[in-house]
Amino acid sequence: MILTRLTCLATILTAGFFTGPAIAMDGVAGPYLAAQAATALNDYKAASGYFNDALLHDPTDPALMESAIISDIALGNMAGAVPIAKALDATGTKSQVARTVILADTLNRGAYDDAIKAIAAGQGVGPLVDGLVTAWSQVGAGKMSDGLASFDKLADNPGLKAFALYHKALAMASVGDFEGAAKIFGGPDIQPTRTSLVAYIEVLSQLDRDKDALALLNEKFGAGADPGIEPLRHRLQAGEVVPFDVVRNAKDGLSEVFYSVAAALKGEASDGFTLVYSRIAQFLRPDNSEAILLTAGLLDSQGQHDLAIEAYATIARTDPAYYTAQQGRAQALYSAGHYDAGIEAMKQLVAAHPDLAEAQASLADLLRRQERYAEALPVYDAAIALIKDPKPRNWAIFYMRGVCNERTGHWGKAEADLRKALTLRPEEPEVLNYLGYAMVERSEKLDEALAMIKRAVAARPDDGYIVDSLSWGYYRTGHYSEALPIAERASQLMPVDAVVTDHLGDIYWSVGRKLEAQFQWHRALSFNPDPKDEVRIKRKLEIGLDAVLKEEGAPPLKSTSAVGGANGG
């Protein structure tokens, strides 16, 4: 929501969040340093254990206490975070993270009047959260009029208006004022998100406006693209009155406050900071599937795949988000190195949803990443067969099938797929580079190939692989002098890549700088090259590039003057 204003929002929310005095090291150095190392790796489980061990040596150190709180929250251990937060607050230290945890605990206990008083006394979190929490707490305390007035007051701030009105609409719907909620949801101030759209659809159904609800669902979600939406579609088509359950009560609304902020901050603040809000949203409503999905995604992106798998597993089979959770779980299993388990989980999902192109494509992607190209191809075929009218957003599936076709030797099909991807997304650098490079390798349509790669470089001038493709294109067309500075640039961008380094060696050789070529080939061998490339590099070191080309029956290098002397001196 209001993404253009989120930088300011992130600043407001994060100010003072991770603060604290220096830690005294006597007796705690070991566990503290271990905790810091674990934190740097986002290993929250280890960090929590080490920080809590350190607290045994120094139980009143504010910085240690705050770090332990943050690790426990990220781990989902609110039971461990709450007592530490209360102890930290008792020291008189001003800690926003401690105040946030204490406030969340107060709300979880349903002590709404206490929460209102704490915020009024300056013990809140920040303007947005404080305003929304106050309003929802008033609703929870039975003061609906005061709550609506608080939402309106918050809406007077232009930067927070959409948040305030969205939550006001949820609050009104939660007490049965569907007419009032519909006016807000249908107005210009609500940003369309999955949750807000489902809420609006449920409100319309409660008003016996199923046709309007179904039309909105079809417009925003399409037909069959989201398995989590299909049960809602079927109920509307059957003429059922769908209950409003996006927010059932004030506590659900408060969970939505923290989820709304987390979702808005994703990509604008650090993942660790965003995780605090998504975890608190779960704490207040354990079945908040959107918060769970966000938490799991954040953990997965931080490399905490096992924690992500645990989070995905908490979403019930009956939850509309179950499909998305299982897809995320399969990806997390794969990312954790459990390749077969990830692929098997995705196969089960495909079996349950055989008519869903996204599921087929996700399975094919995992097989492709395993370099099981022949197995991936029929799955991509099945996915593409389900896409009746390809749109620009479908470019990637044609691109990936093209990659698999090229890797399995079906060049004609590969070229057709790659060109189809370009018709859907004409200036996509990945496709321009892949197709251009493939044509260079095949010595086909070289002028077009170089033009494609140049467009890719213009779009991504700092992408080492794409820059390398351009240098290789010049090399393969005999323009060695033009290739050299571009190859050196690619090597700067990708200094430990075996292919880029090997290419640089070949180009040095082509301009007569043979000692430098041999040096680069030796470097390439140290970067774990593909076994086939390793054999070829070693052969070049034994007999030289010219002799290798002759052995391979490839055209010889074109005659050219050396650049910079025989050995580049």
Q: What token pair was written down for 183?
A: 């006016």
Q: Residue 435 has what pLDDT?
A: 97
pLDDT given at position 55? 84
Domain locations along the chain: 371-426, 434-569
Q: How far is CA 30 from CA 20, 25, 55, 156, 368, in A?
A: 19, 9, 12, 51, 44
Cα–Cα distance between 351 and 348 in angstroms, integer?
5
Is the per-residue pLDDT at 332 higher than 80? Answer: yes
Please tell me the predicted confidence (pLDDT) of residue 204.
97
Decide if pLDDT at 399 tops 80. Answer: yes
| Residue closest to 64 by CA, chosen among 35, 94, 30 | 35
- How far apart (Å, rounded) are the C-alpha atoms in residues 569 and 552? 31
- Is the pLDDT confidence value at 12 over 60? no
Cα–Cα dist 112/474, whole Å: 70
pLDDT range class, residue 27, cuts 50, 70, 90: low
Q: How confident is the model at residue 22 (pLDDT cuts 50, 70, 90)?
A: very low
Mean per-residue pLDDT, 405-424: 98
What digits encode the pLDDT tens for the residues 227-237?
889 999 999 99
Q: Which of 9-18, 50-59, 357-366, 544-553 has the lowest mean pLDDT?
A: 9-18
Interval 152-166 mean pLDDT: 94
Write down the pLDDT at residue 222.
81
DSSP 202-261: HHHHHTT-HHHHHHHHHHHH-SSS-TTTHHHHHHHHTT------SS-SHHHHHHHHHHHH
Label residue 563 by pLDDT band (50, 70, 90): very low
Find out whether 432 and 395 touch, Cβ atoms under 8 Å: no
Tell me, what's the pLDDT at 58? 81
Residue 36, pLDDT above cutoff 60: yes
Task: Report the pLDDT averaged over residues 271-290.
Answer: 95
Per-residue pLDDT band for 3 (boundaries 50, 70, 90) equals very low
Q: What confidence score (pLDDT) does residue 46 get?
A: 83
Please classify residue 373 by burial: count the beta carbons closer than 10 Å to its beta carbon, then call 0-12 exposed, 13-18 middle and 19+ buried: buried
Q: Average model confidence (pLDDT) for the chain?
A: 91
The predicted structure's pLDDT at residue 40: 84
Q: What is the pLDDT of residue 383?
A: 96
At residue 52, the pLDDT reads 84
Cα atoms in the 13 Å half-sphere on the side-chain side of 272: 16
Residue 322, token pair as written in the block: 């179950």
For residue 225, the model assigns a pLDDT of 67
Give dist(CA 478, CA 511) in Å, integer.
Answer: 10
In whole angstroms, what is the distance from residue 397 CA to residue 368 CA? Answer: 12
Per cent of the chain over pLDDT 90 is 80
Taking only the tens place, the pLDDT of each residue in 528-558 is 999 999 999 999 999 999 999 999 999 999 8
CA distance 327 to 365: 12
Beta-ladder partners of 269: 266
pLDDT bucket at 13, cuts 50 / 70 / 90 = low
Chain segment 298-307, per-residue pLDDT in tens: 999 999 999 9
Confidence of residue 560 (pLDDT cuts 50, 70, 90): low
Higher pLDDT, 561 or 169: 169
Q: Is the pLDDT score of 413 beyond 50?
A: yes
Local structure of 269: helix, strand or coil: strand
- The reported pLDDT for the residue numbered 17 is 54
pLDDT tens for each residue of 216-228? 999 998 876 678 8
pLDDT above 60 (res 518): yes
In this structure, the number of other CB atoms found within 10 A of the CB of residue 546 comes to 14
pLDDT for residue 239 is more than 70: yes
Instruction: Identify the band that residue 48 occupies on the pLDDT scale cut at 50, 70 and 90.
Output: confident
Fold that domain 434-569 belongs to in CATH? 1.25.40
Nearest to 328 by CA among 359, 354, 368: 359
2 band by pLDDT with thresholds 50, 70 and 90 = very low
Question: pLDDT-based confidence at 6, cuts 50/70/90?
Answer: very low
Q: What is the pLDDT of residue 414?
A: 98
511's tokens: 């301009």
C-beta contacts of 516-520 below 8 A and 24+ residues apart = 516/567, 516/568, 517/545, 520/491
Is 527 a residue whose pLDDT tops 80?
yes
| Structure tokens belonging to residue 97 | 């993270």
Q: How confident is the model at residue 215 (pLDDT cuts 50, 70, 90)?
A: very high
How sure is the predictor about 56, in pLDDT bands with cuts at 50, 70 and 90?
Answer: confident
Lowest mean pLDDT of 15-29, 151-165, 232-246, 411-425, name the range.
15-29
Q: What is the pTM of this model?
A: 0.84
pLDDT of residue 61: 86
Query: CA 198, CA 106: separation in Å to the nearest integer?
Result: 29
β-sheet bridge partners, residue 266: 269
Residue 18 has pLDDT above 70, yes or no: no
